[in-house]
Amino acid sequence: MSARHADDGGVVVIGLGRFGCHLAGSLTRLGHEVLAIDRNPEQVQRWSAQLERVVQADSTEEDALRQLGVASFGRAVVAIGASVEASVLSVLALAELGIEQIWARATSTKHAKILSSVGARHVIFPEAETGERVAHLIVTRMLDFIEFGDDFAIAKVRVPEVLAGRPLSEIRPIERYGVRVLGAKLPGQQFQYASDTTVLQGGSALVVEGSIEQVQRFAQLS
């Protein structure tokens, strides 16, 4: 396995419970390569027909992950929910391999703090998240994302550098980028609805709406 996975959107998903499977499926539908790992052979067998790469392995063992080529991936998600110990040790193993973007499922506030302390960059509470929403956040530059229907979304994104310092009046119709700006959160200010006089500043966040593809493309301008 080559290091190209870190560049082409490959994601490691550890733990094939309900949330992990939904997440892996959503990432696959978004066109990203997924390496799914679970220590339970029954789970591996169950999902082998639906996911392209499903491997039985102990994710708490750094050597096992290294042998699978996990170190060549830039992003990993620990979706284990049944064992706090296994999830923490898996995050630690990933961090030791040098994975920079680690997402991890937490079952409590205390669990979340431990996950963060051992290397998790992002903590997920699946009871409040959906696999598809998390998939979009993992593989794009969106800060937040809500999907309505099959092809419409509202997202929070960083102000693209190419638009920084310019008022909305200069770049309207913003629809040329395929999205509509609903509001902005400027540094040190409260959220405000967007108007022609709103100046887009670097470090600010925008709330935009459009099709899922348009919103993703706009976020990539950042």
Alpha carbon distance 40, 59 (integer Å): 11
Residue labelled with tokens 């409260």: 190
Alpha carbon distance 196, 145 (integer Å): 24
Confidence of residue 57 (pLDDT cuts 50, 70, 90): very high
Alpha carbon distance 87, 91 (integer Å): 6
Q: pTM value?
A: 0.61
Residue 128 is given by DSSP the state: G
Query: Residue 36: its pLDDT value, please?
Result: 95
pLDDT value at 54 more than 70: yes
pLDDT value at 65 more than 80: yes
> What would the mean pLDDT of 127-145 be, rounded to a whole number?
56
How does pLDDT run across 6-44, given as a tens digit for each residue?
Answer: 335 589 999 998 888 888 888 888 788 899 999 999 989
Task: Give the range among 119-133, 140-154, 187-201 with minimum mean pLDDT.
Answer: 140-154
* 93 alpha-carbon distance from chain centroid: 20
Better-scored residue on pLDDT, 123 or 97? 97
Query: Residue 2: its pLDDT value, please?
Result: 34
Residue 176 is given by DSSP the state: G
Q: Return the H-helix or E-strand segment holding 11.
A: strand 11-14
> What would the mean pLDDT of 120-127 be, rounded to a whole number?
79
Question: According to DSSP H, which parts of the chain are helical?
Answer: 5-8, 18-29, 41-47, 62-67, 84-96, 109-118, 131-139, 168-171, 212-219
Confidence of residue 190 (pLDDT cuts 50, 70, 90): confident
Query: Residue 207: its pLDDT value, please?
Result: 76
Query: Residue 3: its pLDDT value, please?
Result: 35
- Burial of 22 (C-beta count, 10 Å sphere; 0-12/13-18/19+): middle
Residue 143 is given by DSSP the state: S
